[in-house]
Amino acid sequence: MNRPPAQLVLSDGTTFEGYAAGHLPDEGFTSGEFVFNTALSGYQEVITDPSYAGQIISFTYPHIGNYGVTPLDDEAARPFCAGVVARELSDVPSNWRSVGSLDGFLREHRVAALVGVDTRRLTRHLRAHGALPGAFGHGDSELIVREAKRAKGTDGVDFVTSVTTKEAYVRGDGDLHVVALDYGIKETMVRELAQRFRVTVVPATTSAGDVHGLRPDGVFLSNGPGDPAALGAQVAVIDELLGTVPIFGICLGHQLLANALGGTTFKLPFGHHGSNHPVQDLVTGKIEITAQNHNYAVNPDSMTRALVSHVNLNDGVIEGIHAADERCFSVQYHPEAGPGPHDARYLFERFDTLLRTNVLDVR
């Protein structure tokens, strides 16, 4: 396939050459914060994860698009990421589930891509200098450089408003009712909950009073994009809910729960994005291989109302907390996977047990 030459420029001036693929924006460029993902497969689930809103995903695995795409792997109705970077994008997908190519999928959803890039060099640069804003595109070099300098990161930005559901909807028919606050919830997450409960997914702007009005047996706090420090209204709602109903949070939901419990968050240098992060359960001592996608983490010095339950064995980052008296717990990683290992799916059973016994058992 003939593709036009394109250029990637980071905000620090570092430049990469490649070819434009996917959607070709009329402006000639796309901009956002560059992060890298180390998953070996599951590119469609990664691209459609709403947690990537405002970010450009660089895949470290060199061959992307090999097995095409299928609606069965979508984690949202459309991608919210700002763009995709890959070493090689397959033009000939081959898989019995495939209904089309990744390049066609990106064009359909107006997601710009850059291929033929030395993603190994890009990854090493982001590891050394942290996640950086920038721009790429098929426009002239001066345009790309100018837009790279203008590009912004995710600090202080509320992306949740752009990805949350506009209307509440219900899934599952279990005997217990869970209200899921949608900060950018993944389809696999909804599916895992709906296998166990009747789930009402509500917009992120839903008040504590409206949540209680739905008479839930428990509340679920979903994953989502951006800086938790920009979501004071959501933290205030969780603060009102604490102690009144059992709560389970994942990823951004974990960070917001920690904030409601008096904690603070900080931005990691280049985040955790991949499906092979080792996490230790401090209660049982067991180690899980986990899927992760987050740029922010909970400050360990700020946790006074909750206990740390899990830590990342790569860098010591807090990966889970719990507060038995307030019947709440959360994890930073993704037990639903999609993509990734299923080591941690027992946490959905832990939530089920909490709702049925009203006792948080973390053993």
Residues 6+ apart with CB under 8 A from 142: none
- Are residues 277 and 287 in contact, defined by beta-carbon separation less than 8 angstroms? no
The tokens describing 195, both together, are: 């296998």
Catalytic residue, from 75, 192, 251, 254: name it: 251
Which amino acid is it at 24?
A: L
Secondary structure class of 19 (helix, strand, coil): strand
Question: Residue 281 half-sphere exposure, CB side, CA atoms within 13 Å?
Answer: 16
| Cα torsion 13, 16, 19, 22: sign | negative
Catalytic residue, from 125, 138, 254, 334: name it: 334
Whether 336 is catalytic is: yes
Whether 177 is catalytic is: no
Q: How far is 174 from 166, CA to CA, in rounded Å?
A: 24
Q: How far is 295 from 52, CA to CA, in rounded Å?
A: 10
DSSP string, 94-106: --TT--B-HHHHH
Residues 6+ apart with CB under 8 A from 205: 161, 164, 233
| Cα torsion 220, 35, 126, 280: sign | positive
Whether 125 is catalytic is: no
Q: How far is 306 from 342, CA to CA, in rounded Å?
A: 26
The values of phi and psi at residue 259, to 5°, are -65, -40
Residues 6+ apart with CB under 8 A from 317: 268, 272, 297, 311, 332
Pairing of strands 5-10, 132-137: antiparallel
The values of phi and psi at residue 242, to 5°, are -55, 130
Catalytic residue, from 33, 192, 288, 336: name it: 336
Secondary structure class of 221 (helix, strand, coil): strand
Please choose, from the candidates 329, 326, 328, the residue with its C-alpha nearest in 3D space to the C-alpha of residue 318.
329
- Are residues 133 and 32 in contact, defined by beta-carbon separation less than 8 angstroms? yes
Active site positions, annotated: 251, 334, 336
